[in-house]
A and B are shown apart, each in its own frame.
Chain A
Amino acid sequence: MTVAYPFTAIVGQDDMKLALAIAAVDPGIGGVLVFGERGTGKSTTIRALAQLLPKISAVKGCPYNCDPEASQKNLCPSCQKNSGPKAHKIAIPVVDLPLGATEDRVLGALDIEKAIHSGEKAFQPGLLAAANRGFLYIDEVNLLEDHIVDALLDVAASGINVVEREGLSIRHPARFVLVGSGNPEEGELRPQLLDRFGLSLDVRTPRDIPTRVEIIKLRDAFDLDPEGFSKRFSRKEGALRRKIDAAREVVESVDVPAEVLEKAAELCLALGTDGLRGELTLIRSARALAALESSDAANMNHLKQVALFVLRHRLRRDPMDESSADARVERTIATVLP
């Protein structure tokens, strides 16, 4: 296994790091979409996140990483039957959905080997099963084939994967945090898929010389000696991992005061975002950020920091307004949250 570049050694790109950390704290926020020009370190940052995630407890041998503590209806079919499951600790799965993946592999299909050898109709779980309770990462998300997007959309919304094929009828939990990255110049993202992401951001390469020199120096040092380099950052990585882990523990109990709720509603109203999802995500993200900063309650500052990530991809396009979505959101944030 090759060593991935450490998350904490990434220079700049603070927005991207913050958004990913927020998504890691509360999977219910719905994932992160990172769009940006070439060579900004999108993939590097996202792949680095995998090493930072805390361990979770899962049923031993369960292909869907079921939570032993979960209620009966949130378990996969085999764990439902199985009383007294054995639990073990696993790393939170980060599953790569590569370009060119086929539908049977993503959703799961009949296990050919078992079918041929023993004539048994067994289900071979796909990538969505492997990503349950973890992250599903799609690099070049805007180049994903349409029929794969169709398959993803439903599962991402319902958290349940339904497979009806080859005489199999399977329902299994598939709750994952969707993380996507792409370059907008290479293709547009279907609006339905865009809507599945909780947070979205646009990254640019840092333009100032000292930062760029720093990036190159670190990257060069990493390329020459990946193991040694990672060791240098292990303390920092550990600290951030513990911070995320602690935030995951307390996030449910972080208080969101009424005035923050009000302001969140006001923001969404002012921007005319569709539906309640924007508002809900706004509140959950502010709460996750508060948990990361170990505060007991979310405040206006937290709300302000997450508002752009949450809202920028939820605006209705207004053909009369030439300014970019970001400018509109920033303007509204400035008026609503002075």
Chain B
Amino acid sequence: MLASSELSQPSSPELEASSLWRDAQLAAAVIAVTGYQCGGVRVSAQPGPVRDFWVAMLEDLQQAPTRKIPPSTATDRLLGGMDITESMRLGKPVLATGVLSECHQRTVVMPMAERLPKEYSGHWCAALDFGKINVARDVLTSTTNAAITLIALDEGIDEEAPPAALLERLALNIHLDPISIHGVDDTAFSPSDIVRVRNQISLHPANDATIKLLAELAASLGVHSTRSLLFSVTVCRAIALLLELPETHEDVIASVIRLVLLPRATQLPQQEAPEPPMEEQQPETTEENESKAQPTAPPGDTEEMVQAATATLPPEVLTMLLSRAERSRQRQNKAGSAGHLSQDKQRGRPVGVRRGDIKRGHRVDIPATLRTAAPFQSARARWDNSNNSKRGLYIEPADIRVKRFEQRKSSVMIFVVDASGSSAYQRMAEAKGAIELILADCYSHRTEVALIAFKGESAELLLPPTRSLVRAKRTLAQLPGGGGTPMGAALQAMHELAMSVAASGATPSFILLTDGAANVARDGTKSRSAGTEDAINAAKAVAGADYRGILIDTAIRPSSRANDLATALDAVYLPLPNASAESINDSVRALN
């Protein structure tokens, strides 16, 4: 049993490490008690003896072995499917049990959980949510129990992390890296403690005061998910019973904060009070401010509690948690904008096989095709009345399975060239030179290019996305100049093209060559102020979509106009006089 006074002592590295280990022990005990109900534990640690010790301790506490399942386990193994050999032997479809159902009521250890592909995480989440999985594969439908407890060993460095949907479903979070193997022991709890608390916990409904306190804490930390709050209540009850303290005892609450709430925090209580609300989030400020304006909890108490809870955390763990909080806040602010669907597609996704057509140029997956055809062989032989006794296998068009490849995602560079009569055109030759440099780079990256030119009252798509750089070069060389600068129309044309590029699955980026002197509004009226306003509005819309881009200022004397536009676009600003071939190429490489 832990002495309660040990939990809140002034910190030194050894003490911090030992308090981390106490949390880890507590987490092991809580998960041994609650099991499936709390989902599992995210263990942030590199492989090593401390981590192994922790897993062994957990196995000892729950008096059951764990089972290791790699994150790369594919859908057909996770869910199961038709067992071809058994099905053929018995003459009826037989379902092979998937890994998830095999692990019903067991604890699963997933090493390298940060490598779990998103398309598999859905299956894990379903098992964690409902304790059972629905399988509808290979002519079989079934619902099987799969109440698993998941220990996700997160070895991610920096940005790498297991899928957010999975983390949401694991109640507890521990960090083992700062702990030395000499500092660990497994004396805090015994298997008999676990059995005792398991028996007690179902008799104790949650206490109102505890729920209220935890709800206030969660709100002050910006943890809005109901699931997280539910976890914190369950964990709190388990910890209180394990330590034989009241639920609202400060040590119990501090542990809940460290294990459950703080890792999910999107803000810290003290951030909210003195600082004005963040300025960046203009688009949705009205709603956001309103919800923030009514403080959900008196900040004072919760702030103190969080501070007390974090006092024993080593600085590096605290920093990491804070940066995670920062990231998840940014993600929340960005949620809903169209741009971020692309990232994980760039890493070659392992994609399986599907029904296909030989004629359409797919690559046939022969083993998969044979597997599909296998069960039907005897039946088809019977149906075959061609009297051709030498016939070998019966393969029908519906059996054909083709390999699916997700080719490295192509990218499309959209050039938007200012061909107006303003100063931009004076430097057209230089601009064209710069573009040729970029084109050469695009060629080496197999990037497609598109060209939009704008002058007079409108913008025109001169060249839709193409791989033919020769055509791009020629179109560019013939580009006529003169007239006003319809910047708003140009940006809108660019945005529309970028959206259609993104919709087709490629990643758009853009290079805008202009002096930034917008003087034609979108409706065609010639007015510097209206033109600029339109341009800035269109630029903000582009920035909202999160495309990467460069603005090359082609004015003779670079001015703040182009720079302002680049800021609004969230693009890199390069004034041409200073832009050497290298600096342009460097920036372009950053895009590619």
| Interface positions of A (Cβ within 8 A of B) | 37-41, 43, 96-106, 109-113, 115-117, 119, 121, 124, 126-127, 139-140, 143, 145, 147, 165-167, 183-188, 204-209, 212-213, 215-217, 219-221, 223-224, 317, 319-324
Contact = CB atoms under 8 A, between A and B. Distances in A.
A143 B224 contact: no
Contact of A119 (B129, B214, B383, B398): B383
B2 interface: no
A177 B114 CA distance: 37
A335 to B, nearest CB: 18
B224 A205 contact: yes
Contacts of B383: 119, 121, 167
Contacts of B133: 98
A112 B398 contact: no
Given A39-B226, A113-B93, A219-B230, A103 B354 contact: yes
21 contacts: A37-B224, A38-B165, A99-B122, A100-B75, A100-B136, A105-B136, A105-B138, A105-B141, A112-B87, A116-B375, A117-B91, A119-B382, A121-B383, A166-B376, A187-B118, A209-B296, A212-B218, A213-B212, A216-B233, A217-B206, A320-B541
Contacts, number: 190
A317 B297 contact: no
A38 B81 CA distance: 29
- Highest count of chain A CB atoms <10 Å: which of B137, B538, B540: B137
A113 B92 contact: yes
Given A38-B227, A205-B226, A115 B336 contact: no
A93 B215 CA distance: 37
Contacts of A113: 91-93
A98 B233 CA distance: 30
A140 B129 CA distance: 13
B546 to A, nearest CB: 13
A96 B540 contact: no
Contact of A185 (B215, B331, B488): B331
Nearest to B378: A116
Interface string B272-300: 00000000000110000001001011000
Interface stretch (B247-255, B492-500, B570-578): B492-500
A320 B522 contact: yes
B202 A224 contact: yes
B347 to A, nearest CB: 15
A37 B328 CA distance: 12
B226, B336, B488 — most chain A CB neighbours (10 Å): B226
Nearest to A144: B122
Nearest to A187: B341
B225 interface: yes
Contacts of B258: none
A26 B165 CA distance: 33
B119 interface: yes
Contacts of A121: 383
B139 A186 contact: no
A121 B296 CA distance: 64
B301 interface: no
A105 B139 contact: yes
Interface string B426-457: 00000000000000000000000000000000
B155 interface: no
B124 to A, nearest CB: 10
Contacts of A41: 226
B291 to A, nearest CB: 6
Nearest to B334: A185
A217 B205 CA distance: 9
Given A212-B215, A224-B202, A322-B540, 18 more contacts: A37-B332, A38-B168, A39-B224, A102-B81, A109-B139, A112-B93, A117-B92, A145-B354, A184-B336, A186-B163, A205-B225, A206-B226, A207-B296, A212-B218, A319-B495, A319-B538, A320-B492, A324-B283
Nearest to A163: B398
A110 to B, nearest CB: 7
Given A98-B136, A147-B355, A209-B296, A166 B396 contact: yes
Interface size class of B (residues with CB under 8 A): 35 or more
Interface in B116-152: 118-119, 122-123, 125-126, 129, 133-141
B141 A213 contact: no
A38 B93 contact: no
A115 to B, nearest CB: 4
Contact of A37 (B216, B284, B335, B492): B335
Contacts of B163: 186
Given A207-B296, A223-B37, A112 B137 contact: no
Given A143-B122, A220-B233, A322 B139 contact: no
A147 B401 CA distance: 13
Interface string B43-68: 00000000000000000000000000
A100 B168 contact: no
B304 to A, nearest CB: 18
A111 B139 CA distance: 8
Interface string B220-252: 000011111110010000000000000000000
B164 interface: yes
B283 A323 contact: yes
A105 B140 contact: yes
A206 to B, nearest CB: 8
Contacts of B354: 103, 145, 147
Nearest to B98: A100
B537 interface: yes
Contacts of A97: 136
Contact of B139 (A124, A140, A219): A124
B335 A217 contact: no
Contacts of A119: 379, 382-383
Nearest to B491: A319
Given A165-B398, A216-B233, A102 B215 contact: no
B530 interface: no
Which residue, of B118, B164, B211, has the highest number of chain A Cβ atoms within 10 A?
B211
Interface string B525-538: 00000000000011
B216 A209 contact: yes
Contacts of A109: 139
A40 B495 CA distance: 33
Contact of A143 (B78, B119, B541): B119
A77 B375 CA distance: 27
Nearest to B137: A102
Contacts of B283: 322-324
Contacts of B20: none
Question: Which residue, A112, A209, A219, A321, has most C-beta atoms of chain B within 10 A?
Answer: A112
Interface in B60-108: 75, 78-79, 81, 87, 91-93
B231 to A, nearest CB: 10
A129 B291 CA distance: 45
B208 A213 contact: yes
A219 B136 CA distance: 30
B134 A317 contact: no
Given A99-B123, A100-B137, A216 B202 contact: no
A219 B294 CA distance: 26
B46 to A, nearest CB: 28
A28 to B, nearest CB: 26
B291 A116 contact: no
Contacts of B141: 105, 127
A213 to B, nearest CB: 5
B479 interface: no
Which of A109, A140, A186, A324 neighbours the largest number of chain B CB atoms within 10 Å of its CB?
A: A186
Contacts of A117: 91-92
B233 to A, nearest CB: 6
Query: Most chain-B Cβ atoms within 10 A of its Cβ — which of A40, A220, A317?
Result: A220
B219 interface: yes
A205 B93 CA distance: 44
B544 interface: yes
A103 B215 CA distance: 44
B118 A186 contact: yes
